[in-house]
Amino acid sequence: MDASIIIPAFGRTDLLRRTLTAALAQDYPADAYEVIVVDSSPDDANERLVRGLAPSAPCRLRVLRKDPEGPGPSRNAGARASAGRILAFLDSDCLPVAGWLAAGVAAFDEGVGLVQGRTVPDPDARLGPLTGFLRIERESFIYEAGNMFYRREAFFQTDGFHADPHGGRFWVLGGED
């Protein structure tokens, strides 16, 4: 399998639905990728969403459930359960364009271990001083994982992502990437 799209999720079922719709609409051979949602929500709404979409999904779609520890451990769980040679991490509020997966996989030349994707705020969203959004126009030393691709071997040569350093069970501040 070429790629595994791994999406950590906690609540926000409407946003996850939009992300999954876009992830399942990739211009990529359906038998060459899978989508794994790792859900740590306190209810089963996300799990029901994924299970409801799975029968009609063009590729393999599945959900894993785990305790809430932040997105880092969820990404690690998805990576361990994945089959792809490329691990494509995508946040549950991101909307990948149709060619996103193909472009990310194609960027892996010999010796490349990770590729950071471009991320911009939704142009239709109202942005204010308390709006959380990520803008990544080019490779960054921070390597934010909301839109990040790793060669499988490179990812597993590391310790993976860390748990949220702030220790929040239900309020995650980030920084684990």
pLDDT digits (tens, 9 = 90+) for 94-143: 889 999 999 999 999 888 887 776 554 555 666 555 555 555 556 665 55
Q: Are strands 33-39 and 60-65 parallel, antiparallel or unpaired?
A: parallel
The mean per-residue pLDDT over the stretch 81-101 comes to: 94
Q: Specify the pLDDT at position 94.
A: 86
Q: Specify the pLDDT at position 173.
A: 46
Q: Specify the pLDDT at position 121.
A: 53
As a whole-number percent, the residues of the chain with pLDDT over 90 amount to 59
Model confidence at 13: pLDDT above 90: yes
If you count them, how many residues does the chain have? 177
Q: Are strands 114-116 and 33-39 parallel, antiparallel or unpaired?
A: unpaired
* Spatial separation of the C-alpha atoms in residues 95 and 100, rounded to whole Å: 10
Q: Specify the pLDDT at position 132.
A: 54
pTM summary value: 0.84
The mean per-residue pLDDT over the stretch 2-14 comes to: 96
Model confidence at 70: pLDDT above 70: yes
Q: Are strands 86-90 and 114-116 parallel, antiparallel or unpaired?
A: unpaired
Of residues 37 and 159, more confidence is placed in: 37
pLDDT confidence band for 88 (50 / 70 / 90)? very high
* Spatial separation of the C-alpha atoms in residues 127 and 139, rounded to whole Å: 23
DSSP secondary structure string for all residues of the chain: --EEEEEEE-S-HHHHHHHHHHHTT-SS-GGGEEEEEEE--SSSHHHHHHHHHGGG-SSEEEEEE-----HHHHHHHHHHH---SEEEEE-TT----TTHHHHHHHT--TT--EEEPPB---TTSPP-TT-----BSS--TT--TTEEEEEHHHHHTS--PPPPTT--SS-------
pLDDT confidence band for 90 (50 / 70 / 90)? very high
Q: Specify the pLDDT at position 176.
A: 46
